[in-house]
């Protein structure tokens, strides 16, 4: 299905371009959110008459996004979550959780603007991209910890999860000794 883009859409095109997309993507995303129009002759003429207004609106949104980006870029946000001894969370941190904590700190961010390829499932510091406008992307840091004290330690660079360090040579000797003991027990039975 051919559509005319009313704003820049990442990995698709710039405002005013006519692009060919799958019908479901056009209906469910682009047309539903007002990001595109069907590429009919009447819509093309309508777009050309509205082009100046759309470009002005786009510039205003970009300026607003850049103003927020100056304050938000590089900020760190702490999320307190429960986890096991190995640092694996009992739940996960999603875009909704990140949007809520950023909004509580006074920034206007929606969960659709936060770019997470997969949910965060462990403790630690994570760099998360935020797309405030199709042309304005920034990075924030999300500090996932079990307590505020642990979050401060993580922010300073300390390791908060004590991982068991295995020496492979020692582990091999232990496995060998266990196999030898198992073998001796089999000889005593026979």
| CATH number reported for the structural domain that contains residue 45 in this entry | 3.40.5.10
The gap from C-alpha 54 to its chain's centroid, in whole angstroms, comes to: 29
pLDDT at 117: 84
Q: What is the pTM of this model?
A: 0.70
Q: Are residues 60 and 81 in the same domain?
A: no
Q: Are residues 88 and 54 in the same domain?
A: no
Q: Are residues 145 and 81 in the same domain?
A: yes
| Number of compact structural domains in the chain | 2
Query: What CA–CA distance (Å, rounded) separates 42 from 40?
Result: 5
pLDDT at 184: 62
12 domain-assigned: yes
Query: What CA–CA distance (Å, rounded) separates 56 from 62?
Result: 10
CATH number, domain of 121, equals 3.10.430.100
| Mean pLDDT in consecutive groups of 10 residues from the start of the chain, 190 residues | 89 90 94 92 90 89 90 91 91 92 90 89 93 90 92 84 54 63 59
pLDDT at 164: 46
Q: Are residues 46 and 13 in the same domain?
A: yes
182 domain-assigned: no
- Mention every residue, 6+ apart, whose C-beta is less than 8 A from residue 184: none
Tokens of 73: 């870029």
Ramachandran angles phi, psi of 14, nearest 5°: -95, 165
Reduced to 3 states (helix: H, G, I; strand: E, B; else coil), residue 136 is: strand
Q: Are residues 37 and 101 in the same domain?
A: no
Q: Are residues 87 and 148 in the same domain?
A: yes
Of 65, 91, 115, the domain-final residue = 65
What residues make up the domain containing 54?
2-65
pLDDT at 10: 81
Of 16, 44, 65, the domain-final residue = 65
Q: Are residues 16 and 58 in the same domain?
A: yes
168 domain-assigned: no
101 domain-assigned: yes
Of 43, 65, 87, the domain-final residue = 65
Query: What CA–CA distance (Å, rounded) separates 15 from 120?
Result: 34
pLDDT at 32: 93
177 domain-assigned: no
pLDDT at 173: 60
Q: Are residues 93 and 128 in the same domain?
A: yes
């Amino acid at each position: 299905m051919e559509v005319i883009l009313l704003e820049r859409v990442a990995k698709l095109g710039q405002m005013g371009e006519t692009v060919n997309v799958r019908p479901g993507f056009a209906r469910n995303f682009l047309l539903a959110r007002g990001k595109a129009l069907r590429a009919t002759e009447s819509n093309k003429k309508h777009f050309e008459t509205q082009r100046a207004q759309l470009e002005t609106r786009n510039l205003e949104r970009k300026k607003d996004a850049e103003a927020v980006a100056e304050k938000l870029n590089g900020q760190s946000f702490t999320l307190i979550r429960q986890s096991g001894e190995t640092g694996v969370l009992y739940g996960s941190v999603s875009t909704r959780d990140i949007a809520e904590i950023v909004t509580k700190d006074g920034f206007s961010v929606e969960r659709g603007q936060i770019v997470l390829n997969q949910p965060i499932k462990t403790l630690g510091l994570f760099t998360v991209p935020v797309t405030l406008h199709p042309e304005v992307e920034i990075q924030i840091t999300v500090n996932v910890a079990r307590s505020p004290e642990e979050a401060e330690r993580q922010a300073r660079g300390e390791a908060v999860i004590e991982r068991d360090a295995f020496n492979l040579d020692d582990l091999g000797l232990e496995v060998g000794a266990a196999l030898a003991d198992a073998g001796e027990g089999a000889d005593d039975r026979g």
